[in-house]
Amino acid sequence: MTMSKTTHIGRILGTPVPMLMPLDGPVYVLLVGEAPGPRGADKSGVPFLGDAAGKVLYDVLVRLGAMTLPPEIECMAWDGSLFVASGIVPVAQGVALGNAFDRCPTDDGATFRAPMRSELEGTANLARLTRDINILSGRGLKGIVTLGRVATRTIEVLFKRAPMPELARRALPHPSAQGLLSMAPDRGKGAKMADLQEAWMVRCQYAILQAGFPAPEPDKS
């Protein structure tokens, strides 16, 4: 989630949102965002689930066969609180989802702000990220895909302190409206948001495959 301004959005839980990973089997790629959003992952407790920018990411993962969502989600508003109330739980296959900062940033429990570099690059946060990556490395992790400049910078800082040359890294613009416009020619003037989202989804799918996720087998039917 891209966050450049403070925003009053109501009660923020601000509790840590753990990494989402498969219950068993290999994990090839870790996708890292910025931080849980106030109406999405802060409420759902699942990375990207309910975040405004998370919908396109989940769509990519479903296309790849890397995520299973219950069919009823198609008829629901993309809202973290609603997903919790309905018991919606995504099931990952071969990928894990996490954030550079694992909780929705706030100073007062009501006003949302961007995570600070001191929070992102502090000892405790980098240690958390290192633990998560080490857990996934034990399950066959091959690469990391970062979504947005904040996530990319944080992982770069981590790797400077604790190099992991065996892991491939790919960086993408953030799938928020701001991030999508940044990757479009002429800053997206005249472009339709749906077209920018589709273009980002194609790039994201390619990045996940480059990072080590197995390519889907061709349809022989």
Distance CA 38, CA 60 (A): 22
pTM: predicted TM-score of the whole model, two decimal places: 0.91
Q: Which residues pair with 33 in a beta bridge?
A: 99
Cα–Cα distance list, 78 to 39, 40, 50, 90, 133 (Å): 9, 8, 5, 13, 29
Distance CA 48, CA 167 (A): 23
Residue 140: closest CA among 25, 42, 23, 26? 26
* pLDDT in the model for residue 86: 94
- CB of 196 within 8 A of CB of 181? yes
Q: Is the pLDDT of residue 36 over 80?
A: yes
Query: How confident is the prediction for the chain on average, in pLDDT?
Result: 91
Distance CA 17, CA 42 (A): 7
Amino acid identity at 176: S
Residue written as token pair 């491939």: 168
pLDDT tens for each residue of 71-105: 999 999 999 999 999 999 999 999 999 999 999 99
Residue 154: closest CA among 183, 117, 180? 117
Domains, the chain, in order of start with CATH, read: 15-210 (3.40.470.10)
Q: Tokens representing 104?
A: 């929705």
